[in-house]
Structure 1
């Protein structure tokens, strides 16, 4: 079953382009595994949270940083298609 991903970002902080880039990378990498990636402008300042279905994959405030795209792909892969080879983005 394909999953839905939500990226909630702070528009006041100017993080829309970062969210759009990550959405593009996920849609390109997981073509057969992802149903949708939804970008949600947050009403809470400083928020940058990535959710898979209803599970939080990454929260900027909790981690104290943004995810690297390689790291995000690995987190998604581990949930949706553990056997998928991510090529150069895979764990070493």
Structure 2
């Protein structure tokens, strides 16, 4: 089952500039783990030390927020995950 993951521009440094990565997965967590297996530099950009999403990361599934319970959302072939990073500045 092929899932497309679209990366925020700040994460593309870990994927040689690729915006979209195809992975396998039956739920969002499995797909993200497969992404991190391909690009280990993304692990600390997405997950905290306990394996939870960082507080400034939001997951969209097929262009809709997957919150709450985003990591457990089931996937089907052709689904798209967007990793959104909230940025702040001042």
Compare the two structures and name the one with the higher helix fraction: 1
Q: Which of 1 and 2 has greater Rg?
A: 1
Question: Where on the TM-score scale, by shorter chain, does this alignment land: which range?
Answer: under 0.3
**Larger RCO (alpha carbons 8 Å, 6+ apart):** 2
Could you state the TM-score of these two structures normalised by the residue count of structure 1?
0.27
Could you state the TM-score of these two structures normalised by the residue count of structure 2?
0.28
